Amino acid sequence: MSDINPHAEQHSALRRPVRELCRQFDSHYWQQVEEQRTYPEAFVRALTEAGWLAALIPEEYGGAGLSVTEASVILEEINRSGANSGACHAQMYIMGALLRHGSPEQKQTYLPRIASGELRLQSFAVTEPSTGTDTTKTKTFARRKGDCYVVHGQKVFISRVQHSDLMLLLARTTPLAEVRKKTEGLSIFLVELQQAIGRWLTVRPIRNMVNQETNELFFDNLEIPFENLIGAEGQGFRYILDGMNAERILIAAECIGDGYWFIDKARAYANERVVFDRPIGQNQGIQFPIARAYANVRAADLMRYAAAQLFDAGQPCGAEANMAKLLAADASWEAANVCLQTHGGFGFAAEYDVERKFRETRLYQVAPISTNLILAFLSEHVLGLPRSY
């Protein structure tokens, strides 16, 4: 049967090797990782060694210097294979802050080592327990003291800390009460994790619905050298916003990969499972939901390419990037539901992988940005409706 993704032959120089690599990490591998609730270390190492996680690092620093469109194809193929990019995707989109706002020295110090796999930059610490999505109310504070900053505060749901060497941290450097605009007075830092953990940084894992290792973090007077401040003090919120379009597009592509995976899985099962002496897929009650979910994945995929092309052309793409993330997350979630329903009871059996992917793709309705916040962005910034929060 031909590929249900009409773009399957585009970017084939990327798609083929990523598919081949992912083939080595089959259903059995992911089930073991899930059962043991471990980190897919071998998978992430293989991706790193093949250079895929350095896709967005410019060639002069040892990366592949690819576009966001191409990087999105890599993540799409990973999820399409049944794997989970969530273990390592952040390295691609966190990189943007360092690339765009890092000093030449910072780039020279870190980027070649990240590109070679010597260092991992897979953690970013933005969310806080008491402020949630209201990021400008960030309470974690970095106080300047001589040639360093001293950080005190708390973060929540910070992923991959145990598997990363570096973490991007957002903290207040000027109290909210003292800034002209609430978006000012926030700064971003690169934290060298291994030196900090267990001393000035306590990490408490949060057991959760997916096998994504995520944590509560407690900063107790952690000293960060001044040279690890990225860009200008007080401009960190703007730098985080700058990276959001790329993040939205890359996450949309993961959802598209998931969507096609669910549709493939559902149509295969609907063709082969015989009940009442005929394949269940012969019933319109089974085939129509699969067809509808497929149409929605295809439509979302078009928005993802539209957003990625604008991004790569250096044009404004906030609306398209947000819509791509929204539509792709909805489409993958619909496809997940349809796939589970098509499998009946077997959809609940871990060995079919459907229930695992179902849980994994559900996350994209909430993280890294929740659906409501995207709708609020579109309402206010695209449709000119009153700000709702």
Ligand X SMILES: Cc1cc2nc3c(=O)[nH]c(=O)nc-3n(C[C@H](O)[C@H](O)[C@H](O)COP(=O)(O)OP(=O)(O)OC[C@H]3O[C@@H](n4cnc5c(N)ncnc54)[C@H](O)[C@@H]3O)c2cc1C
CB of 49 to ligand X, least distance (A): 24
124 binds ligand X (CB under 6 A): yes
As a whole number of Å, the end-to-end CA separation of the chain is 49
Q: Select the residue interacting with ligand X from 159, 245, 332, 342 (CB under 6 A).
A: 159
367 binds ligand X (CB under 6 A): yes
Nearer to ligand X, 243 or 368 (CB): 368
The answer to whether residues 321 and 369 touch, using CB atoms and an 8 Å cutoff, is no
Interface stretch with ligand X, choices 124-132, 144-152, 191-199, 273-281 (CB under 6 A)? 124-132
Q: Select the residue interacting with ligand X from 84, 91, 212, 245 (CB under 6 A).
A: 212
368 binds ligand X (CB under 6 A): yes
CB of 166 to ligand X, least distance (A): 13
Q: What is the 3-state secondary structure (H, E, C) of 183-240?
A: CCCEEEEEEEHHHHECCCEEEEEECCCCCCCEEEEEEEEEEEEHHHEECCCCEHHHHH
208 binds ligand X (CB under 6 A): yes
What are the backbone dihedrals phi and psi of residue 105, each rounded to the nearest 5 degrees, phi first? Answer: -65, -45
Nearer to ligand X, 341 or 371 (CB): 371
61 binds ligand X (CB under 6 A): no
Q: Select the residue interacting with ligand X from 136, 341, 370, 379 (CB under 6 A).
A: 370
| Cα–Cα distance for residue pair 260/188, rounded to 1 Å | 36
The answer to whether residues 215 and 205 touch, using CB atoms and an 8 Å cutoff, is yes
| Cα–Cα distance for residue pair 57/107, rounded to 1 Å | 10
125 binds ligand X (CB under 6 A): yes
| Cα–Cα distance for residue pair 67/11, rounded to 1 Å | 12
| Cα–Cα distance for residue pair 4/318, rounded to 1 Å | 29
CB of 54 to ligand X, least distance (A): 20
User: What are the residues binding ligand X (CB under 6 A)?
Assistant: 124-127, 132-133, 157-159, 208, 212, 214, 363, 366-370, 372-373, 376, 388-389
